[in-house]
Amino acid sequence: MNGKSQLGEFLQARRSQLRPEDVGVPTYGERRRVPGLRREELALLAGVSASYYTRLEQGHSLSASAEVLDAIARALRLDESERRYLHDLGRADRKRARSRRPAPERLTDATRQLLDVLADVPALVLGRRSDVLAWNHLGHALFAGHLDPGAPYRPTQRPNMTRLVFLDSHTRDLYADWPSKARAVVGNLRLVAGRHPDDAALHALVGELSAKSTEFASMWADHRVKACTVATYAMRHPLVGPLTVVQQTLSQGPGPTLVVTTTDTGSASRAALALLAQAVRQDNVPAEPARTKSRTGTG
């Protein structure tokens, strides 16, 4: 999964998903053997030569300028997240020459403090590959009450949210519209793959999920890109029943992200979370072990 193959695969996939009538390309009633636009049609829309675009899609050229990539993005009707992803892929080859092994992902003191004050809001801290680096009591209870609450603080046992969504029946059953959640998770992982084309652990995760889940393999091959910033999900929790939540991803740069879950004031969903919080307080199980252990991380 290098930048060269990803760039070509992404362009080919998105070109095949764009119908001629979507962009005003006349077909004169002809029958087409392949779906979507032809290479020469996409090249014409982008204002580049067909031969150059073909080399780009086939991985024979990675020298596209930012202006050319923007023109292709407009022709493909990419949104902002997809445009940024395209630029990440276009830069992948140049970045690889000076890339270094990713630094271990650690839970910072500032993020730990923020997690502590969010006691009444389910919250998770996720690494770039969606590994759970930390969670508060309510976050654990809402998303993974069937797992050991101390698992995120043992680097070799950290849960991975993408793996849970596709391979864990408890997590799958949490979402009333599981396909929507699954597509969002895959779309976000695509963005990460564009930013970190040499991340061996990420490659291994994608390979594992592709082998174990035909649904993941199909969604990954679709090359859809989606930034998981704010999303509403209907959930079915085994302890408190149905609730509708808003999941918001808060980022402070290239490091871990904080995912918080909120509900409407005065709603039945807010009451369900309050009931879950009460159950958590009764259990009184610590979510985090000694801090000397929580600062340990792996790349």
Cβ-Cβ contacts under 8 Å for 180 (sequence gap 6 or more)? 233
Q: What is the mean pLDDT of the chain?
A: 85
Cβ burial of 279 (10 Å; 0-12, 13-18, 19+) is: middle
Looking from the CA of 54 toward its CB, the CA atoms found within 13 Å total: 7
Measured CA to CA, the distance from residue 145 to residue 139 in angstroms comes to 9
Report pLDDT for 194.
Answer: 87
Q: Give the whole-angstrom CA distance, residue 189 versus residue 224.
A: 10
- Summarised one tens digit per residue, pLDDT across range 26-63 is 766 677 777 788 888 889 999 999 999 998 888 777 67
Domains of the chain: 3-96 (1.10.260.40), 109-294 (3.30.450.180)
The pLDDT tens digits for 58-107 are 877 767 888 999 999 999 999 888 898 898 888 765 555 445 566 678 88
CA dist., res. 225 & res. 185, Å (int): 10
Q: What's the distance, CA 201 to chain centroid?
A: 15
Of 87, 55, 93, 88, the closest CA to residue 72 belongs to 87
Q: How confident is the model at residue 113 (pLDDT cuts 50, 70, 90)?
A: confident
For residues 17 and 129, give the distance between their C-alpha atoms in angstroms, rounded to a whole number: 27
Q: In this prediction, what percent of the chain has a pLDDT beyond 90?
A: 47
Give the integer Cα–Cα distance in Å for 135 and 125. Answer: 6
Q: Which residue has the tokens 């999964």?
A: 1
CA-based nearest residue to 259, from 151, 93, 144, 167: 144
- Residue 126: both structure tokens together: 């996720």
For residue 281, give the H/E element and its range.
helix 268-283
Taking the alpha carbons of 231, 234, 237, 243 in that order, is the dihedral positive or negative? positive
